[in-house]
A = this chain, B = another copy of it.
Amino acid sequence: MKEPGCPLCDGPGGVAVFEGPKFRVVRASEAGFPAFYRLVWQDHVSEFSDLAPAERRLCMEAVVQVEEALRDHLRPFKVNLAAFGNVVPHLHWHIVARFEWDSHFPAPVWAKAQREAPPDRVAAIERLLPALERDLANKFADLPGNCTGV
């Protein structure tokens, strides 16, 4: 179920980390936020409550896997989760590792910047991402329901 003209139907929406039949995970390119991921539901649905109960469970278990990978690999101060879709009404979850040094902390990523993120801190996080993403792709391959359908 694709929607013509939807950017998340027409394109990946970021750098591919994992691609499955039900959802994909991409790394967003948001300046100053090196560990900003999106879980994109493959079908074009608008609201989280448009998913069937089993799909919702799969979706959130996948979000939790991303959150846990961020926590295990990066030790962030906090993980932020959000599903908006006001501009692109195709279900996608933002999963963002937040640090006390980041440009917007403690405000949400979508608020006004409060400072510039120190480039050395950003670079230190970026060096940890390849291992994080390998780990995540391996975990998703084992997630019940993703490869066999819900």
Residue ranges of A at the interface with B (Cβ–Cβ < 8 Å): 46-49, 53, 56-57, 60-61, 63-64, 67-68, 71, 77-87, 89, 98, 105-108, 110-112
Contact = CB atoms under 8 A, between A and B. Distances in A.
Contacts of A89: 78
B48 A56 contact: no
A64 B87 CA distance: 21
- Interface centre among A61, A89, A108, by most chain B C-beta atoms within 10 angstroms, is A108
Question: Could you say how many copies of this chain the assembly holds?
Answer: 2
- Overall SS of chain A's interface: mixed
A92 to B, nearest CB: 11
A112 B111 CA distance: 7
11 contacts: A47-B67, A47-B79, A80-B83, A80-B85, A81-B81, A81-B83, A82-B83, A82-B84, A87-B106, A108-B110, A112-B112
B82 A77 contact: no
Contacts of A80: 82-86
